Copies of this chain bind each other. A is one copy, B any other.
Amino acid sequence: MANLPKALADAAAEVETVLDAVLSVEGAPEKLIYDAMRYTTLGGGKRLRPFLVMESARLFGVPKASALRTGAALELIHCYSLVHDDLPAMDDDDLRRGKPTVHKQFDEATAILAGDGLLTLAFEVLADPATHPDAEIRATLVLALAKAAGVRGMVGGQMIDLDAETKTLNLAEITQLQQLKTGALIGFGCEAGAILGRAAAAERKALRAYADVLGLAFQIADDLLDVEGSVEETGKAVGKDANAGKATFVSLLGIQGARQKAAALVDQAVSHLSGFDDRADLLRLTARFVVDRRN
């Protein structure tokens, strides 16, 4: 029987080692920016996105080192997005993963540059032959991650999210926003395993479909946590969306409706994995986990 909490913890520990290595300050011209990048990247987070890379890669027998470095690159993108998102001109958050945000701990300029550094490093890690000996795979990973993270993916979603503060989005608009803002990176996480494993198009498509539903379930759970969670559990401010009068899945569907929607999405996500054997069991459990988590 697959043990998800243990698998998540083990993967997080392995990813931490890779992140620590790619963020090694040795020989660097400047130490302070490394302090900021390491502060925000190391020692925290569920590492859900790298876990998705590792588990999707495992379906195709990809060597673990390749999956780990790809997962680490994805986590660098995720971490940079949090640093920039927390800036005063953006969401203006003081707390992240239970610690002061980067611009509070250091300063705003350092936070901007540390985010830029993490973003750039992600592509350096992917393009490095250490990630995969086949340049075709490395270039495909870079292209896919750049698309997922860019203006037609995560950054575009963040821009829509900023605009959303001045208008009320409907369910279709909220869904599109979240597919870009959080769904695109989760989608890359699952597709990366298929890219690394030279999977057949149908398998890559199934994983992408799983990821799309998973990402939506993840966001609905996030909205529920913003209403029902505590600062202690989530390590960040709660009740922000409601206080800002922003439309969320919870404001549009109600708490019960959002819970039901999330549960239905879990079943749907699992159904997309029907073509895979028991090696996909952890991915199946992950779908349940993202809606049941408390942080």
Contact = CB atoms under 8 A, between A and B. Distances in A.
Given A109-B89, A112-B89, A139-B139, A33 B155 contact: yes
A244 to B, nearest CB: 14
Nearest to A112: B84
Nearest to A146: B124
Contact of A119 (B108, B116, B156): B116
Given A151-B28, A156-B29, A160-B30, A143 B124 contact: yes
A157 to B, nearest CB: 8
Contacts of A107: 89
Main secondary structure of the interface of A (DSSP, over half): helix
Contacts of A123: 123, 142, 146
A10 to B, nearest CB: 29
Contacts of A80: 116
A80 B138 CA distance: 24
Interface of A: 27-30, 32-34, 37, 80, 84, 87, 89-90, 107-110, 112-113, 115-117, 119-121, 123-124, 126-129, 134-136, 138-140, 142-143, 146-147, 149-152, 155-160, 162-163, 176, 180
Given A124-B146, A127-B143, A129-B139, 6 more contacts: A30-B151, A33-B151, A33-B155, A87-B109, A127-B142, A128-B143
